[in-house]
Amino acid sequence: MSKLKEWLSELVEEELEDYDKLSVDDRVISVIVILFFPLIACYLLAHQLFSTGFFTASFGPLEMVLLYGTPIYWIFTCTVLLLEYIDLSRDVDSFGGLAFAAIAFGWLSVVFPFDFVYFADVLPEPLQFLLQWMSNDIARVLLVIGFIVHLFLAILAGVMRVKVRKALANTPKDKEIE
C-alpha cells in the first residue's frame, strides 16, 4: 500500500511541475484524435445508413449513444485541450469522460451488437482486405481491453485530479502555479 501511495505522490509531483503547460505530445495526440475519430464515426455511420449487416438487431438507441458518444467525448476533450482550457479538459476526462468510455466499452462487449463479417463492406473492394481479418472474437477482446484500460484510467484520473487540486489548494499564493 505504501508503494501505491508513493507512486501516486510521484505522479502528483510530475503533474504539478507542468500543471499549466500543454505538452507537444498532448497537442499531437489531440490533433490526431480530432482528425481521425470523425472518420471512424463516419465509417460506423455508413454501416448504419447502408444497413450492411454490421449492426445486429440488438443495436438500439442505448448502444448508439454509447458507440458514438465515446468518440464525441474524446473529440470534445481534445478540442478543449487545444484551446488551452486545460483544467476543463482534465475535469471532463477525470470526472465523467473516462467513466463513460469504460461503461460504453463494458456494455458493448456484453451486448455485442456487431457482426464483424460485414465490417469491411463499406470500403471499396480493393481495400476490404485491410479490415477483413477483424473477427467477432478479436473485436470482443479489444472491447474488453478497452473497458479495463478506461476503468483503470477513470479511477486513476479521478484520484489524481483530487490530489492535484488539494496540492494546489495548499500551495502558498506567492508560489502558486500560473
pLDDT at residue 153 tops 60: yes
**pLDDT per position as a tens digit, 79-123:** 998 998 888 888 888 778 899 999 999 999 999 999 999 999 999
pLDDT band for position 8 (50/70/90)?
A: confident
What is the number of helices (H) and of strands (E) in the chain? 6, 0
**Whole-angstrom distance, CA of residue 150 vs CA of residue 98:** 6
What is d(CA 97, CA 139) in angstroms, rounded to the nearest whole number? 22
pLDDT value of residue 133 = 93
Write down the pLDDT at residue 16. 77
Q: pLDDT at position 54, please? A: 96
CB count, 10 Å around CB of 27?
14
173 band by pLDDT with thresholds 50, 70 and 90: low
What is the structure's pLDDT at 104? Answer: 96
Q: What is the pTM of this model?
A: 0.84
In the prediction, which pLDDT does 174 show? 52
Q: Residue type for 167, please?
A: A
Asked whether residue 178 carries a pLDDT value surpassing 60, the answer given is no
Whether the Cβ atoms of residue 22 and residue 81 lie closer than 8 Å to each other? yes
Q: Express each pLDDT in 11-48 by its tens digit.
A: 888 877 877 788 888 899 999 999 999 999 999 999 99
Residue range 123-151: mean pLDDT, rounded: 95
Give the tens place of pLDDT for each residue, 56-77: 999 999 999 999 999 999 999 9
Spell out the domain ranges in the chain. Answer: 26-171
Name the amino acid, one letter, at 43. Answer: Y
More confident residue, 66 or 2: 66
* Residue 175: predicted pLDDT: 52
Burial of 93: CB neighbours in 10 Å, binned 0-12, 13-18, 19+: buried
